[in-house]
Amino acid sequence: MAVPLAVRTSGLTKRFRSGQVAVDGIDLAVPRGAVYGFLGPNGSGKTTTIRMLLGLVAPTSGQAWLLDHPMPQAGRSVLPRVGVLVEGPAFQPYLSGRANLERLDGADATADPRSAPRRVGESLERVGLSAAAAKPYRQYSLGMKQRLGLAAALLRPRELLVLDEPTNGLDPQGTREVRHLIRELADGGSTVLVSSHLLAEIEQVCSHLGIMGRGRLLLQGERAALLDEGTAHVAVTTTPEHVGDAAQVLVSLGLAQVEVQVEAQPEGHSTVVRALLGDVAPQRVSAALVGAGIDLVGLEVQRPSLEQLFVALTGEGFDVAR
């Protein structure tokens, strides 16, 4: 049975007049209810993709669908169900934060004006701006402006949230609050597509990943599966006299890249046999070692980090913390 998708694209491409291909035939698949981390360095095509999804930029070729409706054709009926924060929000500088939200809310023809004060107040509260609601927007810091942009996206319950760098300008506490908010939205049934350069934040909050590089979608899928798939290693610590036998056991189980390493420890040196785990269950490895009479000091399954996966795919570094 096919997984229902909140966002999907088919061959989505954007070529500028200069000939530059910003987005090259990507097929996004964002499951409903997922927190989809959309990753990539500057210039990889993330923001251009998001702008095409929302109908802000026309694709050169290909098609995009939001909530099962084609974009931009169905934008008028679909976009009220979508909360958006893209490339920094734009507000009236001399109006207060509250007044700016009231103007946005009043422009939504599908919103009940009688409940506008409640919606605006709750949105400000959720992003921690209640105390600064009466302050003019031009006096807001970068982090406060970003919070107000999030509040605008949350004025009404949304089936889909599209957030481009939502923690930009926020301090560590603000970043944690946004992470908590994203989880809260997902727990409430919303789908969240979040673009970010902070890998540590993405790893903690996202259920699915899509990695962009030079305009192409290099990899996407469930986060746990992508980090586990074919890349986990097993490290077996044993005594020097058993290292050869331990290596033979791993080879007999079909593990690849078996190698012996001597590692310095505070209490002395230990001998470690490492191998690519593949499809072999760790329990089977430990049982085979014990069954062969190996003095098993330790066994650890080591999985790659998101940063390691990104570098392996793109050959580029990436920020892991602010």
pLDDT over 60 at 268, yes or no: no
Do residues 218 and 280 both lie within one domain? no
My answer on whether 274 and 132 are in the same domain is: no
Q: What is the model's pLDDT at position 269?
A: 59
Q: Sorting pLDDT into bands at 50, 70 and 90, what band is 304?
A: confident
Residues 176, 296, single domain; the answer is no
For residue 104, give Cα distances in angstroms to 100, 121, 180, 185, 224: 6, 13, 25, 21, 38
What is the CATH classification number for the domain harbouring 28? 3.40.50.300
**208 neighbors 216 (Cβ within 8 angstroms):** no
Task: Mark 118-129 as b/e (b = at least 16 C-beta within 10 Å).
Answer: ebbeebbebbbb
Tell me, yes or no, whether 207 and 243 share the same domain.
no
By the 8 A CB rule, do 10 and 36 touch? no
State the Rg of the chain over Cα. Answer: 24
Q: Are residues 215 and 253 in the same domain?
A: no
Helix (H, G, I), strand (E, B) or coil at 96: strand
Query: For the residues of 263-303, what is the DSSP string, one character each?
Result: EEETTEEEEEEEEE-TT--HHHHHHHHHHTT--EEEEEEE-
176, 192, 227 - which closes a domain:
227
State both tokens at 298.
């330790």
- The residue out of 227, 252, 286 marking a domain boundary is 227
Which residues are 237's β-sheet partners? 272, 298
User: Is 322 inside any structural domain?
Assistant: no
Note whether residue 313 is domain-resident.
Answer: no
Q: What CATH number is attached to the domain comprising 239?
A: 3.30.70.260
> Is 203 in the same domain as 265?
no
If you write DSSP's letter for every residue of 125-167 in order, what string do you get?
HHTT-GGGTTSBGGG--HHHHHHHHHHHHTSS--SEEEEESTT
pLDDT in tens, 123-182: 999 999 999 999 999 999 988 998 999 999 999 999 999 999 888 878 888 888 888 889
**Same domain? 215 vs 150:** yes
pLDDT band at residue 322 under the 50/70/90 scheme: very low
Does a structural domain hold residue 321?
no
Residues 170 and 252 in one domain: no
Residue 30 near residue 221, CB atoms below 8 Å: no
The pTM of the full predicted model, rounded to 2 decimals, is 0.79
Same domain, 190 and 242: no
Torsion of CA 71, 166, 184, 66, to 10 degrees: 10
Q: In this predicted structure, what is the pLDDT of residue 169?
A: 79
Residue 308 within a domain: no
CB atoms within 10 A of CB 64: 21
Domain that includes residue 222, residue range: 5-227
Domain assignment present for residue 284? The answer is: yes
Report the pLDDT value the prediction gives residue 316, as an integer from 0 to 100.
Answer: 60
Quick one: 173 and 112 in the same domain? yes
Strands 29-31 vs 35-39: parallel, antiparallel or unpaired: unpaired
Check whether residue 49 and residue 166 sit in a common domain: yes
- pLDDT over threshold 70, residue 279: yes
Whether residue 307 lies inside any domain: the answer is no
Same domain, 116 and 12: yes
Work out how many domains the chain is built from and give that number: 2
In a domain, residue 77? The reply is yes
pLDDT, one tens digit per residue, over 46-80 is 999 999 999 999 999 999 999 999 999 999 999 99
Per-residue pLDDT tens digits for 192-243:
999 987 777 778 899 999 999 899 999 999 988 887 765 788 999 988 888 9
The domain boundary, picked from 181, 204, 227, lies at 227
Domain assignment present for residue 316? The answer is no
